[in-house]
Amino acid sequence: MKKRLVILTVLAGFFFASCGSQPAKEEEPAKQSETPAQEQVAQPEKTEEKAPDFGEKGNAFYKHCADEFAAVKAIIADIKANPEGRKNIEKLQLFNNFEIKIEDAWGKIEIYEMNHPDEGMRNAAMAAESELMAILSEITLDADLYKVMAAIPADDPEFDAEDKRFLADVIDDFKRSGVDKDEKTREEIKKVNAELVAISQQFNANIASDRKSIKVAPERLKGLPEDFINGHAKDENGMITLTTDYPDYFPVMESADDETLRKEMYFLAQNVAYPSNEEVFDKLLKGRKKLANLLGYKNWPEYSEAKLMIGNPENAENFVKKIAAISMPYAKKEAEILLAKKKQLTGKDDVEVEPWDRFYIPRLVRMEKFSYDPEAVRPYFEIQKVLNGIFTVNSKIFGLEFKQIKRDDVWHESILSYDVYSNGEKIGTFDLDLYPRENKYKHFAMFTNEQGIKGRLPRMAIVGNFPTPVNGKAYVGHDSVQTLFHEFGHLIHGILASGHKYIRFAGTNCQRDFVETPSQFMEEYVWDASILQLWATNDAGEPIPAELVEKMRKSDEFGKGLHTSRQLYLAILSLEVYLQDPDAEGFNHHAFEKKTEREYSPWKTYEETHQIENFGHLDGYSSNYYTYMWSLSIAKDFYGYIMQNGGLMNTDVMGKYRDQVLKAGGAKDGMQMVRDFLGRELSFEAFEKWLNQ
Ligand SMILES: [Zn+2]
C-alpha cells in the first residue's frame, strides 16, 4: 500500500506507508530509497507568485491540478454560503465531491511524482502536492465549514446507513483535527502541524542522505556471488567501496564469510542518520505529544490509535506483548541452532550469535537442514507465468476475468494495462509498471490512480522492479512471486470495493491497521503445491514438483520465531517510545531504546548502535508499527476459517470473503468485517497456531 491520504486529518496525523511483503527487510536501517525525499509533503511555497515552468506535459498537469483545486475551493465556499437553501443529503454529496476531486488529484500526483519519466511532470506533481496540502490544512481547521456540517442532523430521514456513517466520520475527523477548539488553540495546532511537516521531512531526509560506506580489500568479499563482486569496481588502490544501501548491505550480511566485515557493516548501518537525527527525533516526539495534548489526548498513541481497530495503546501493548511472549520460545530454539552452527563454523566453543550473524547463519542452516536452494524454483517463475497465475487464481476464486488492453494515457510505454470483468461486466482497470528504470520508485507498491465509486470504475496500478526481461522472459525468485501476489491482494481489494457512494469508503480506504489483511492473505496462494501447479511450469511445460514446494515451505519456516520476535521488538519500541514523556527531566531516547532492546530484542544489544535515528517507520507508522503483525493475525484467522470451510480454492467461502470483506472497503469497521465473515469475534488462535508450527 502506498501512503494513504486521510483527507481531514491529513496534517494532524497522516500516514505514510509503503509496503512490500518482505518485512524481514522492511525495518532495516539502510532504507534510503524506501522513503524517497520527494515522498515527503513539501511545504507550500509562499514567495513565488508567477507560475513555474514544468515543460509542456508538466505545465498541462499542473494546470489540471490548479483547476481542480480551484473547483475544490468553490465547492467549499458553496457549502458554506448556502446552508439553509439545500437538503442535507445534498450537503453530503457536495462534501463528497470535494473529496473526490482531492483524491483524484492525489492519486495522479503520487504516481507521477514517483514514477513519471518526464522530470517536468515529477516536479509539477511535487508542486501540486504542496498546494494540495496547503488547501487541506485550511479546510481541516475551517470552523465555518465545520459549523455547516455539524448542524446536519444524524437522523435525517433521507439518510441511509452509508450516509449516516459518512456524516459521523466527517464530523469525527473534523474534531480530531481540532476544528472545534477555540481560536487560539486552533492557531497553535496550525503552527504545530506546520512544524511537524518540516520535522518529518528532516527526519526522512537525514536517513535518505546519510549513506555510509567502507573501503574493503576484494579478498574480504569471500562468499559473495561473483556478479556482486564484478559489479563493484576497484579504485586506484585496488579497494572496493561498500555502502549501507540495500543492494550492498543485504548481500554482505547474507553471504560474506568474513565476520568482521559483517560486523563493520552492521555498526555502520545501525548508525545511519546518527547523530543528525538525534535532536530531530526528540523534536518529533515533543511535537506529536504537544499536538495530541492540544487535541485533548494524553499522548500521541492515544490520539493516533483512536480510529484504528486496535483502539488505544493499552490494546496495542497487550497485543504486541502477548505475541512476543508466544514467539520468544521459538526464537530461542532457533537461536540455539544458530549457536551450534556458529560453534561448528568457528571451531570455538566460547562464541555467541551476534546481530551481524542474523542473515548469514540462518541461510547456511537452511541450505544444510532442508537442502533447499532458492535458485531451484526460479525456472518455474517466469514473470508472464506469474501474472497468468495471479489471474488464474483470482478468476477461479472470485469469478473475475482479465483482458489485456492498450491505452494511451499511461506514464511509460512499457506499462501493461488490463480490464477486469465480473459476470461479463467490466468492473475496473489497472496498469502494471513492472520493470526498473531511472527516476522510478525503487520498491513494490500498489497505487490507486482513481478510486471506484458508484457510477465510476476504479483504476489501480502496481509498480515494481522485476528484472527486465531478456528475449521476452524474466525469471524471478519465490519472494518476488510472493510480493506480486501481495500487491495484487491490495489491487483486487481496490477494484472490488468500488460500489460505494462516498470516496472515503472506496477501495483500500479502510482502517489503516486492517489494510494489510487482504494483501497478506493473498500470499497464502504461493505456498500450496496444488495451486502453484496450476500455473508454475518450467520452459518444458513441467509443473513445479510438490517435493520442491515442500522443501521451500520447510526452509521458510526456519527463522520465523526470530523474525517475528524482532518485528515485535520493533513494534514495542515504536509504541513505547511514543508513550514516554519526552519533556520529562532526564528522558533520553537512546537509553530507552537500549532498555527496550535488552528486554525484547532476540538479538544482543550494543550501546553503540542507534536504531531510532534510522528507523524511518517511526515517522510514517509513528507508534503503530504493530499494524503489520495485527493485519497478519487477522489474515491468519481468515485463512484458518477458509481452510475449515472448503479451502483456498473453494468458491463459496471465497465468494463470502469477497462480498463481506473485500467489497466493504471502508464502509465497515475492520472488526465488523471480521464478524460478518467469520460469524464470531477475532481470534488469535490461528495466528498462534501458525507461530507454533
Ligand atoms: Zn502491503
CA 633 – ligand 1 centroid, Å = 14
Please tell me the predicted confidence (pLDDT) of residue 4. 46
Please tell me the predicted confidence (pLDDT) of residue 438. 85
Q: Is the pLDDT of residue 345 over 70?
A: yes
Residues 6+ apart with CB under 8 A from 247: none
Please tell me the distance from the alpha carbon of residue 212 to that of residue 30, in angstroms, as a whole number: 9
Got the DSSP string for 135-194? Answer: HHHHHHT-HHHHHHHHTS-TT-TT--HHHHHHHHHHHHHHHHHTTTS-HHHHHHHHHHHH
CA 115 – ligand 1 centroid, Å = 18
CA 22 – ligand 1 centroid, Å = 9
Please tell me the predicted confidence (pLDDT) of residue 44. 40
Q: Is 237 helix (H, G, I), strand (E, B) or coil?
A: coil
Please tell me the predicted confidence (pLDDT) of residue 35. 30
Q: pLDDT (tens digit, 9 = 90+) per residue, 142-161?
A: 999 999 999 999 999 999 99
Q: Is the pLDDT of residue 24 over 60?
A: no
CA 316 – ligand 1 centroid, Å = 20
CA 536 – ligand 1 centroid, Å = 23
Got the DSSP string for 594-610? Answer: HHHHHHH-SS---TT--
CA 336 – ligand 1 centroid, Å = 32
**C-alpha torsion sign, points 504, 506, 509, 511:** positive
Please tell me the predicted confidence (pLDDT) of residue 577. 98
CA 668 – ligand 1 centroid, Å = 20
Work out the pLDDT band at 246, boundaries 50, 70, 90.
confident
Higher pLDDT, 103 or 33: 103
Q: pLDDT (tens digit, 9 = 90+) per residue, 575-593?
A: 999 999 999 999 999 999 9
CA 180 – ligand 1 centroid, Å = 35
CA 160 – ligand 1 centroid, Å = 32
Residue closest to 20 by CA, chosen among 487, 409, 342, 350: 487
Instruction: Average the pLDDT over 358-373 and give the result.
Output: 92
Q: pLDDT (tens digit, 9 = 90+) per residue, 516-562?
A: 999 999 999 999 999 999 999 999 999 999 999 999 999 999 999 99
Whether residue 518 contacts residue 661, with contact meaning beta carbons closer than 8 Å, is answered with yes
Instruction: Average the pLDDT over 437-448 and give the result.
Output: 86
Q: pLDDT (tens digit, 9 = 90+) per residue, 52-83?
A: 899 999 999 999 999 999 999 999 999 999 89
Query: Model pTM?
Result: 0.88
CA 486 – ligand 1 centroid, Å = 6
CA 492 – ligand 1 centroid, Å = 12
Q: Is 460 helix (H, G, I), strand (E, B) or coil?
A: strand
CA 630 – ligand 1 centroid, Å = 13
Q: pLDDT (tens digit, 9 = 90+) per residue, 195-221?
A: 887 898 789 889 878 889 999 999 999
Please tell me the distance from the alpha carbon of residue 129 to that of residue 132, in angstroms, as a whole number: 5
Q: Is the pLDDT of residue 34 over 70?
A: no
Least confident of 4-18, 362-376, 449-463, 641-655: 4-18
Please tell me the predicted confidence (pLDDT) of residue 6. 44
Please calculate the CA angle 252-619-35 and round it to the nearest 5 degrees. Answer: 50
CA 461 – ligand 1 centroid, Å = 13
Work out the pLDDT band at 41, boundaries 50, 70, 90.
very low
- Whole-Å CA distances, 334 to 159, 330, 351, 567: 57, 6, 16, 16
| Beta-carbon count within 10 A of 507 CB | 30
CA 348 – ligand 1 centroid, Å = 43
CA 672 – ligand 1 centroid, Å = 21
Please tell me the distance from the alpha carbon of residue 507 to that of residue 667, in angstroms, as a whole number: 10
Please tell me the predicted confidence (pLDDT) of residue 250. 86
- Whole-Å CA distances, 108 to 65, 104, 116, 126, 168: 10, 7, 10, 11, 28
Q: Is the pLDDT of residue 350 over 50?
A: yes
CA 1 – ligand 1 centroid, Å = 5
Please tell me the distance from the alpha carbon of residue 389 to that of residue 386, in angstroms, as a whole number: 5
Quote the percentage of the chain above a pLDDT of 70. 93
CA 19 – ligand 1 centroid, Å = 5
Instruction: Average the pLDDT over 103-112 and give the result.
Output: 95
CA 535 – ligand 1 centroid, Å = 23
Q: pLDDT (tens digit, 9 = 90+) per residue, 319-330?
A: 999 998 889 899
CA 43 – ligand 1 centroid, Å = 28
Q: Is the pLDDT of residue 638 over 50?
A: yes
CA 2 – ligand 1 centroid, Å = 8
Instruction: Average the pLDDT over 291-309 and give the result.
Output: 97
* b (16+ CB within 10 A) / e for 267-283: bbbbbbbbebbeebbbb
CA 609 – ligand 1 centroid, Å = 29
Least confident of 105-109, 130-134, 388-392: 130-134
Please tell me the predicted confidence (pLDDT) of residue 459. 98
Instruction: Average the pLDDT over 424-446 and give the result.
Output: 91
CA 122 – ligand 1 centroid, Å = 24
Please tell me the predicted confidence (pLDDT) of residue 137. 80
Which helix (H) or strand (E) element contains residue 426?
strand 425-433
Instruction: Average the pLDDT over 256-265 and give the result.
Output: 97
CA 143 – ligand 1 centroid, Å = 36
Q: Is the pLDDT of residue 26 over 60?
A: no
Please tell me the distance from the alpha carbon of residue 524 to that of residue 528, in angstroms, as a whole number: 8
Work out the pLDDT band at 130, boundaries 50, 70, 90.
confident
CA 494 – ligand 1 centroid, Å = 12
CA 76 – ligand 1 centroid, Å = 34
CA 490 – ligand 1 centroid, Å = 7
CA 615 – ligand 1 centroid, Å = 18
Q: Which residues sit opposite 448 in a β-bridge?
A: 460
CA 446 – ligand 1 centroid, Å = 8
**C-alpha torsion sign, points 577, 580, 584, 585:** negative
Please tell me the predicted confidence (pLDDT) of residue 50. 67
Instruction: Average the pLDDT over 639-646 and give the result.
Output: 98
Plot region of 81 (φ>0 → left; ψ -120 to 50 → alpha; else → beta)? alpha
CA 20 – ligand 1 centroid, Å = 5
Please tell me the predicted confidence (pLDDT) of residue 20. 37
CA 606 – ligand 1 centroid, Å = 32
CA 620 – ligand 1 centroid, Å = 14
Work out the pLDDT band at 49, boundaries 50, 70, 90.
low
Instruction: Average the pLDDT over 511-515 and give the result.
Output: 95
CA 621 – ligand 1 centroid, Å = 13
CA 528 – ligand 1 centroid, Å = 21
CA 623 – ligand 1 centroid, Å = 18
CA 275 – ligand 1 centroid, Å = 31
Q: Is the pLDDT of residue 462 over 70?
A: yes
CA 452 – ligand 1 centroid, Å = 19
Please tell me the predicted confidence (pLDDT) of residue 1. 52
Residue with cell 496500478: 461
CA 397 – ligand 1 centroid, Å = 20
Q: What is the mean pLDDT of the chain?
A: 90
Q: Is the pLDDT of residue 284 over 50?
A: yes
